[in-house]
Amino acid sequence: MKKNTSKFLSIKVKLIIAMVAVAAVPLIAATTINFISSANKSTITEKDNLDWQAWYIQAAVNNLFSRTKTALETLAASKSVIEFLHDGKAEDDAKRQMQTVNDAFGDGNTITLSNTEGMMVLRSDESKLVDIHERDYWIGASKGTPTCSDVMVSASTNVRSVCYAVPVFEPGTKTVIGVLHRNYDLNQIHQILAEDGGENFCVDKQGIMAAHSQYEIAATDEPVDFSKSPYMTSGKDNDVYESFAVGHTYVAYVKEPLTGFTIASAKSYDSVVASARLSALTITVLGMILLFIGGVFSYLLAVGFVKPILAVDGSLAELANGRFSKIDKFTNRNDEFGQIVNNTNDVIDKLSSIVGHIKETSATVHESSEELSDMASQIAATTETVATAVQHIAGGAVQQADDIQSAASNTSMITEAVEGVQESTKGMTSLAERMKIASKNSSASLEALQTASSEMTNKIELISTKISSTQNAVTNINERVEGISGIAAQTNLLSLNASIEAARAGEAGRGFAVVAEEIRQLADDSESLASEIRKLMDELLTEADHAVDAASQVKSGNIEQQKALGETLSSVEGMIGDIEETVISVAKISEEAETCVSANSEVSNAMSSLSAISEENAASTETTGASVEELSATVTTLAGSAAHLKEIAEQLNDEIMFFK
């Protein structure tokens, strides 16, 4: 049965999807890598540009305040200003100098001079003089340090500004006698920030937005506080960082050294990666075009692959329905598909030829099976008649064989009994011979043991003699030791007498007294040694007595053993005579049993021969009957096989009709 294939699971669709995927995956990878690489490169470049821009703007702002600082410090050192602060004289000269310096800037701002109490005393314009002693720039400058104020809003003009102040020193000293300061409208800072383009801004020392490049800040606007930003909290003089405070931006900042303000440049992340996105978009569009071309090529290639497969599938479907349909197309292709088509055609040709031969053969088999079935039936009938006759003959032969076999069995039993007696006599003869040999060996061993016992008795007597000699020697040594003890006693007595005489001699006999003492000591040592020797000799005599007693006991036991061995030897010699007589009697019994076995064997052999002949006849008859039965069974089986073969032939004919 043909199974329909889903369009979504077809080879053509899979090939198209696979080839498009092969083209799409590198495209996606290349676009992603290019975007990431371009974005990283753009980020690094823009960070460098932002850093450079922040430094550039900081240099412009620094230049403004450097000019201001230089001008104010020059003015503070002028003679007319110092004289005016001292005694109020030279006011016109001081004011004229202030106006000249201020006009040089040409920005419409003013220069103001105040005294040490923080009271304005002179201005470059005609504005009102006010008290400024609480303002941060005056406080810083009055301590001798040039100072820039944070963002201020004028109460009279309502203008946002900053003020840069420098101290006026007493000539030749560091004593502050006044303060010069100049105001700057923050819109002037706005213009400096806007000249370079982009997003630039300035923040004062407290983190309040002072000016922005893209818009002017009005006095009524709410102050923007950036005191929590990294450029206020990091402690660094300059850096570039990524910010998410107001959108996604990159910020570069530089601290302006004269004012302490922070000059910053910012750029949004979208504008930084815009070029990277444009590059990725270009690659994507180009890739989509190439992907479309690849898809068309994939479709054509898939169609070229699938058409031969569909042709082969159609041919196999026809074959499944019993029709041999060859493929006419694609036979000239030199690739694997052409080879598949040609091989399919070859298979169809071979199957067509084989089926034709089978059709011809099945008819012949059908006819032969019918003839074979008829012949088998005839042979089976004849074989059954022969088998019945053979069974009657086999029954008589089996009965005769059973009678002869029974007689032969009885004769065999007699033979086995006589042979058993003969084997027993042979075993008894062998046992008697072994007993005789063992008795002789025992007799020889006993004689050897008696001889060894006699020799041991002699050795014990010799040992006893040696021990007695040792006792005598020890006794003699004890006597000599007694002599040594006597000599030691006499020597001791002699030493005592010598000591007495030496004492009588006084000083002249002192040396002799020493000799006498040594002799006495020698006598004591001899006595001690003699005592020790006597003690050892007593112990040796005791051990010798014990050894003599033990030798006597061993000698007595050995003599008793010799007597027992003599009696045992006599008994063994008598046993040997009895065993020899037993061997002679057993030999006679064995000869007589052998004669019985020979006679009985002849009878048994004759009965066995007769029984064997009867058994062979019966076996042959039974074999013949069995063979006839087997032949009958074979013929019956053959008849069944012939019938089965006929059925198979008919079934084969029916099945082969499937092929047209």
Map out the domains of the chain as residue ranges: 47-276, 351-656
- For residue 241 the two structure tokens come to 């960082």
Angle at the Cα of 64 (from 61 to 67), degrees rounded to 5?
Answer: 145
Distance CA 529, CA 519 (A): 15
- CATH superfamily for 47-276 is PAS domain (3.30.450.20)
End-to-end C-alpha distance for the chain, whole angstroms? 18
Q: Which residues pair with 633 in a beta bridge?
A: none
Residue 599 has a pLDDT of: 58
> Which residues fall within 8 angstroms of residue 524, CB to CB, at 6 or more apart?
488, 492
> For residues 628 and 387, is the Cβ–Cβ distance under 8 A?
yes
Q: Which residues pair with 176 in a beta bridge?
A: 169
Residue 2 has a pLDDT of: 47
> For residues 122 and 84, is the Cβ–Cβ distance under 8 A?
yes
User: Which SS3 state, helix, strand or coil, does residue 201 take?
Assistant: strand
pLDDT along the chain (660 residues), means of 10: 52 70 74 73 83 92 92 92 88 90 87 93 89 92 94 81 94 93 90 87 93 90 90 91 85 93 90 70 77 75 72 77 76 76 81 73 65 63 59 59 61 62 64 67 67 70 71 70 73 76 73 73 75 75 72 71 68 66 67 64 60 61 63 65 68 64
CA distances from 64 to 53, 67, 188, 260, 382 (A): 17, 5, 10, 14, 144
Residue 486 has a pLDDT of: 75
Burial class (CB in 10 A: 0-12, 13-18, 19+), 635: buried
Q: Which of 60, 49, 55, 53 is nearest to 192 (CA)?
A: 60
Q: Which amino acid is at 241?
A: Y
Q: What is the pTM of this model?
A: 0.44
3-state percent helix, strand, coil for the chain, nearest multiple of 5: 75, 10, 15
Element (H or E) spanning 214, and its range?
none
Any idea of the CA torsion for 154, 155, 158, 162, to the nearest 10 degrees? 10
H helix runs in 170-268, sequence order: 186-195, 230-233
Residue 1 has a pLDDT of: 44
Q: Which CATH number, 1.20.1260.10, 1.10.3720.10, 2.40.30.10, 1.10.287.950, labels domain 351-656?
A: 1.10.287.950
Helix and strand numbers (H, E) in the chain are: 10, 11
Residue 111 has a pLDDT of: 93
Distance of CA 305 to the CA centre of its chain: 47
